[in-house]
Amino acid sequence: MKLLVGLGNPGREYATTRHNIGWRALDTLLADQASAFATRADFQADIAEWRAGGEKILLAKPLTYMNRSGEAVQRIVGFYKIPHEHILIVHDELDFPLGRLAFLAEGRPGGHNGVASIQERLGTTAIPRLRIGIGRPQDQRPVDVHVLSSFTPEEERTAQEILKRAANAIRDWVAVGTTNAMNQWNKKETIGP
């Protein structure tokens, strides 16, 4: 079994924000599947199941808010006994421009509180991640305001394209693993607005 964790915040007011691009990537992945997300209070997450090549894939969107994502992930991992290398965290990345994505096999959270929460709760930085660029603010607004803002209409068009690309990248990660997915996807060009 593998676990895909999309990071975001619950609530309609956060649905289209930059910080929720991890949730949106999992929604895009499931768009053409028969499966749908359902709330599991015991996991503090919305959960869906997907089968790929006969393997059960669990998708999770923590409902604990970004900074406490590790609480939900720890419950799921503990219940299903999922090895860390079979987990993929999908999240927004300030240091990438919108339109770029890349896998990371392991590493420190780089200021991302959701990733930090998961790493702290699971006791390791060796958890694969798919980072989806949202870009840094081009104006003087603070980063926390930027990540909780929605994309402009022009940016949203680019976001839709990168979400489709992210869904394909996730499918490849499930099929071929982290190293091969990195080799295939980390060299792809950034999609421009």
Q: Return the active site residues.
A: 19
Helix (H) or strand (E) holding 5: strand 2-6
CA 132, 15, 114, 79 dihedral sign is negative
**How far are the Cα atoms of 7, 42, 108 from residue 51, in angstroms, in the given order?**
21, 22, 30
The token duo for 34 is 């028969």
Provide the 3-class DSSP secondary structure of residue 31: coil
User: Do the strands 101-104 and 87-93 form a parallel or antiparallel pair, or are they unpaired?
Assistant: unpaired
**How far are the Cα atoms of 18, 36, 101, 179, 188 from residue 33, in angstroms, in the given order?**
24, 8, 23, 26, 26
